[in-house]
Structure 1
Amino acid sequence: MSLTAAAPHEATADLTVEVHGLRNVKGEVQLCVTQRREFLKCDEDPAARTAEMATSDVAPVTFKALPAGTYAVLVLHDENANGKMDKMLGIPKEGFGFSGNPKIRMGPPKAHHVRFELEPGQVEQRVKMKYLL
């Protein structure tokens, strides 16, 4: 009689992100979920999960079967749909948001303000958009 060990089952979670507070329905909304500590470079993370949708279709987005761990969510309201954050004198002209909804002071938030633990199961993050100009 031969016994084989079952492969260890990696704990996963479904992360649902709700975006609130868009100032208009121009362009598109881009979401990025990353485990990198350098969360602002989410687009450079090959393991990041992304989604994009027209602002008229904004609805909760679910990222399925993410490994449990520490994550950050970034959201961009790309009003002119050019695929990047437009700035004026270094200040974002388009809306943005982060998991944890940190207060925005001078510069971007620190990693510990936007990172959260993703536990196995269903998890929700509500991201409120911020506009500086």
Structure 2
Amino acid sequence: MRRLGALLFMAIAGSGAGAAGQPQALSMTLEGLRSTRGQILVCVTRSAAYFPDCAKDPDKRHFAVPVKSGPIPLGTVAPGDYAIAIVHDENGNGKLDTFMGIPREGVGFSRNPVLRFGAPSFGSASFPVAGAPVEQAIRLKYFL
């Protein structure tokens, strides 16, 4: 009976998260949206050299998703450190609009680093993926 209890415990404990070396689900939620117009431009990268604009990253995940509340799935990713940069493309033109270098549309980053002049560093926005699904709650910032 004791052995059955130990086996049952091991089965329950091992059923939740995936193995540390396996790809894991990545998702995000959005906080502070000022409207539901347009789309969200998403950049997911694991390279500091291509953050925050991962357009030239050969391993990037760069795509647009509809504006919505609740979790937004970003697919599965291999274990490692990642950073997410997003733009609330309110007018749907596929790019971040600026006025004198200041974003006219909302921007946000994983781990919600303090935004001063320019984008945060990869290190301040990066988070680990290993052994379990990850969900990042990203707060949007509007400057104009």
Q: Distance in 1 between matches of 2:29 and 2:138?
A: 6
Cα deviation for residue 124 of structure 1 reads: 1.1
* TM-score (ref. length: structure 1): 0.84
Q: Distance in 2 between matches of 1:112 and 1:50?
A: 19
Structure 1, gaps ≥5 residues long: 1-8
Q: Distance in 2 between matches of 1:41 and 1:80?
A: 19
* Residue correspondence of structure 1 range 19-30 to structure 2 within 5 A: 19-30=30-41
Percent identity over the alignment? 36
Higher share of residues assigned helix: 2
Q: Distance in 1 between matches of 2:78 and 2:33?
A: 30
Amino acid at match of 1:14: A
Out of 98, 105, 110, the residue aligned to residue 87 of structure 1 is 98
Determine the structure 1 residue equivalent to 2:44. Answer: 33
* TM-score (ref. length: structure 2): 0.78
DSSP-derived class of the 1:113 partner: helix
Higher-Rg member (1/2): 2
Q: Distance in 2 between matches of 1:110 and 1:52?
A: 22
Out of 115, 118, 125, the residue aligned to residue 129 of structure 2 is 118
- Runs of 4+ aligned residues of structure 1 deviating over 3 Å after TM superposition are none
Q: Distance in 1 between matches of 2:133 and 2:66?
A: 25
Higher share of residues assigned strand: 1
Aligned residues: 124
Structure 2, gaps ≥5 residues long: 1-19
